[in-house]
């Protein structure tokens, strides 16, 4: 018979949201258990592009809401954590790029007018030229304007590994989750028959949260999935590039990030408009051909002749939104002991943790120093899409 466990905070879902929250809580002296049904970070987190947005991309839409200010602070908070003097010690996590760039090919200036007028980017965007250009754009044939945004790009697999190290003995591989009720109220969860009691239960299971809520007999908060069809290229001719390439509209036409593969080659990971609606409708071969054509036009000097290609279909899980506006805040809903949410962006994991911690403080939840945890079965690490698809 598996043991009964008591903990302060029981978290379900070990993507960046659950792992970050877990590490913050442990640092504050809380006991935690973090349950993962598949692999650490293997949901959306290791499939993300790793950009620590400061809100600049969203400023392309024109007016920014007050809420966007939360995201504006994220690059600073991550930078401090990476330097070892922030809310978490993330020293050793690889910073792939100190900056993300905004690149407007040719003469598209219209959408940049509102962009530069917005508060989120004022004073934080510099035009770069010549040797300051990202290596992939340093060619005499390159035409267009490039701006440096104060947004970092991090190596997400390394981040997940570091957060897993900070999780100590609290990680638990578990599949079957049922409510543990006391007097008709939620007192914890049964995880693979193991009873775990907690002062608070947090669901941060990304796309899995809807099914978990159903298992707990709840229908709120409602979730939405936004499908994406990302493109991956790996090859010796690729050079580092971290940039949103602007098209005529308010969304980046292509967002390129560059990641190190285990065999030492660079991988280009392509998202943005190309991976959204029309891209989702394309078959993989068609999606690859579209990307090849776009890159051939935008960057004809980059040798893609020996590159290997793949595509990845992945959904972004978010709280249900009215209209088409995108969330630029973490989201958290509360129902008694249960807290449920989505960070909505990797970059906003600190904001998600803030919201949970604020709720604990408001309710006077204190570390209770329960008995040490037994040896728990551990979930494996998530593997990046390029190692799986282009090993
Ligand atoms: C292609 C793509 C690119 C992106 N790029 C960026 C970017 O550049 N910058 C940025 O800020 N954001 C980006 N995002 C968004 C970002 O990846 C997500 O907002 C973030 O990773 C969500 O983290 P999470 O922890 O909530 O979810 P996830 O990473 O999906 O983690 C949820 C975890 O819960 C587990 N789980 C599910 N069900 C259960 C269950 N029943 N029991 C136990 N565990 C369960 C899953 O296995 C998973 O490990 C991108 C997203 C995608 C899809």
Pair 218, 271 in one domain: no
Ligand 1 center to residue 102 CA distance, Å? 25
A 10 A CB-CB count for 168 gives 14
Q: What angle do CA 358, 363, 364 make, to 5 degrees?
A: 95
Give residue 325's pLDDT.
Answer: 52
Considering the domain architecture, whether residues 121 and 239 belong to the same structural domain is answered as yes
Establish whether residue 43 lines the binding site of ligand 1, counting it when its CB lies within 6 angstroms of any ligand atom: yes
Alpha helices for the chain (secondary structure H): 16-27, 56-59, 68-72, 74-82, 110-117, 156-166, 209-215, 277-281, 284-298, 349-362, 385-389
Same domain as 281, residue 252: yes
Give me ligand 1 centre to Cα 81, in Å: 20
* Complete edge-to-edge strand list for the sheet that includes strand 308-319: 125-128, 144-149, 100-105, 243-246, 252-260, 266-271, 223-235, 308-319
231 lies in the same domain as 207 = no
Q: Supply the pLDDT for residue 9.
A: 98
Give the SS3 label for residue 332.
strand
Last residue of a domain, one of 271, 293, 317: 317
Structure tokens at 312: 């990845």
**317 alpha carbon to ligand 1 midpoint, in Å?**
7
- Asked if residue 271 has its Cβ within 6 Å of ligand 1, the reply is yes
> What is the tens place of the pLDDT at every residue in 96-131?
999 999 888 865 554 565 555 555 555 567 788 899
Question: Does residue 35 line the site of ligand 1, with CB under 6 A?
Answer: yes
* 53 within some domain: no
Residue 60 belongs to some domain of the structure: no
- The arithmetic mean of pLDDT across residues 225-242, rounded, is 95
C-alpha–C-alpha distance, residues 51 and 95, integer Å? 10
Domain boundaries, position 262: 99-153+225-317
Ligand 1 centroid from CA 346, angstroms: 7
Computed over its alpha carbons, how large is the radius of gyration of the chain? 22
Are residue 293 and residue 244 in the same domain, yes or no? yes
Q: Is the peptide bond before 33 cis (omega within 30 degrees of 0)?
A: no
Same domain? 220 vs 254:
no
Residue 69 lies in a domain: no
**63 domain-assigned:** no
Is the CB of 22 within 6 Å of ligand 1? no
97 lines ligand 1 (CB under 6 A): no
Q: Which of 277, 292, 317 is the last residue of a domain?
A: 317
**Tokens representing 368?**
């209770």
Determine the Cα–Cα distance for residues 194 and 202; give it in Å rounded to an integer.
Answer: 17
Q: Is 206 in the pocket of ligand 1 (CB under 6 A)?
A: yes
Q: For atom 4 of ligand 1, which residue has the closest CA?
A: 48
Closest CA to 301 of 146, 147, 143, 136: 136
Following CA atoms 161, 164, 166, 170 in sequence, which dihedral angle do they give, to the nearest 10 degrees? Answer: -170
- In a domain, residue 51? The reply is no
Q: Is 11 in the pocket of ligand 1 (CB under 6 A)?
A: no
Cross-strand bridge partners of residue 320: none
- Kindly state whether residues 268 and 143 are assigned to the same domain: yes
Residue 214: burial class (beta carbons within 10 Å; 0-12, 13-18, 19+): exposed
The pLDDT tens digits for 305-333 are 999 999 999 999 999 976 545 557 899 99
Same domain as 239, residue 362: no
The CB of 342 under 6 Å from ligand 1? The reply is: yes
Q: Which among 162, 131, 166 has a CA at the least distance from the CA of 146?
A: 131
CA 103 – CA 56 distance, rounded (Å): 13
The per-residue pLDDT for range 153-174, each reduced to its tens digit, is 999 999 999 999 999 999 999 9
Residue 86 included in any domain: no
Q: What is the DSSP string of 113-154?
A: HHHHHSTTTTTSEEEE-GGGS-GGG-STT--EEEEEES-EEE
Compute CA 154 distance to the chain's CA centroid, rounded to the nearest angstrom: 10
Full-model pTM: 0.95
Whole-number Å distance between alpha carbons of 373 and 32: 9
CATH code (residue 351): 3.50.50.60
Domain count, the chain: 2
Summarised one tens digit per residue, pLDDT across range 12-71 is: 999 999 999 999 999 999 999 999 999 999 999 999 999 998 877 655 554 445 545 678
Residues 148, 229: one domain? yes
Considering the domain architecture, whether residues 148 and 235 belong to the same structural domain is answered as yes
Q: What is the DSSP letter of 64?
A: P
Find the CATH number of the domain harbouring 310. Answer: 3.30.9.10
Q: Do both 176 and 41 map to the same domain?
A: yes
User: Higher model confidence: residue 384 or residue 72?
Assistant: 384
In a domain, 68, yes or no: no
Domain shared by 148 and 181, yes or no: no
54 lines ligand 1 (CB under 6 A): no
Please list the residues that pair with 181 across neighbouring strands: 186
388 has pLDDT over 50: yes
The verdict on residue 18 lying in a domain is yes
Instruction: Indicate the residue among 300, 317, 334 that finishes a domain.
Output: 317
Rounded distance, CA 65 to CA 328, Å?
Answer: 9
- As to burial, measured by CB atoms within 10 angstroms (0-12 exposed, 13-18 middle, 19+ buried), residue 193 is exposed
């Amino acid at each position: 018979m598996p043991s009964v466990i008591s903990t302060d905070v029981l978290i379900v879902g070990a993507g960046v949201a659950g792992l970050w929250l877990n590490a913050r809580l442990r640092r504050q002296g809380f006991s935690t258990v973090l349950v993962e049904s598949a692999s650490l970070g293997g949901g959306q987190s290791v499939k993300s592009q790793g950009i620590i947005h400061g809100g600049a991309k969203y400023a392309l839409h024109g007016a920014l809401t007050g809420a966007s200010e939360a995201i504006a602070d994220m690059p600073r908070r991550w930078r401090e954590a990476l330097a070892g003097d922030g809310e978490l010690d993330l020293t050793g996590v690889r910073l792939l790029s100190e900056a993300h760039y905004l690149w407007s090919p040719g003469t598209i200036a219209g959408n940049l007018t509102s962009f530069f007028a917005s508060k989120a980017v004022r004073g934080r965007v510099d035009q770069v030229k010549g040797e300051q250009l990202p290596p992939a754009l340093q060619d005499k044939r390159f035409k267009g304007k490039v701006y440096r945004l104060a947004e970092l790009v991090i190596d997400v697999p390394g981040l997940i590994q570091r957060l897993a190290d900070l999780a100590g003995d609290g990680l638990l591989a578990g599949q079957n989750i049922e409510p543990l009720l006391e007097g008709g109220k939620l007192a914890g969860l049964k995880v693979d028959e193991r009873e775990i009691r907690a002062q608070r239960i947090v669901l941060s299971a990304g796309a899995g949260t809807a099914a978990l809520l159903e298992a707990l007999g709840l229908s709120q908060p409602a979730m939405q999935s936004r499908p994406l069809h990302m493109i991956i290229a790996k090859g010796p001719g690729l050079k580092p590039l971290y940039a949103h390439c602007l098209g005529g509209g308010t969304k980046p036409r292509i967002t390129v990030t560059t990641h190190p593969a285990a065999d030492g080659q660079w991988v280009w990971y392509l998202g943005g408009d190309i991976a959204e609606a029309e891209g989702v409708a394309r078959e993989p071969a068609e999606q690859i051909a579209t990307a090849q054509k776009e890159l051939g036009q935008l960057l004809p000097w980059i040798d893609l002749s020996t590159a290997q290609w793949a595509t990845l279909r992945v959904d972004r899980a978010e709280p249900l939104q009215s209209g088409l506006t995108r969330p630029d805040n973490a989201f958290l809903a509360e129902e008694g002991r249960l807290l449920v949410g989505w960070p909505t962006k990797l970059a906003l994991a600190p904001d998600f943790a803030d919201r949970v911690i604020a709720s604990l403080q408001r309710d006077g939840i204190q570390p209770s120093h329960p008995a040490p945890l037994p040896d728990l079965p551990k979930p494996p690490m998530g593997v990046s899409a390029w190692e799986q698809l282009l090993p």
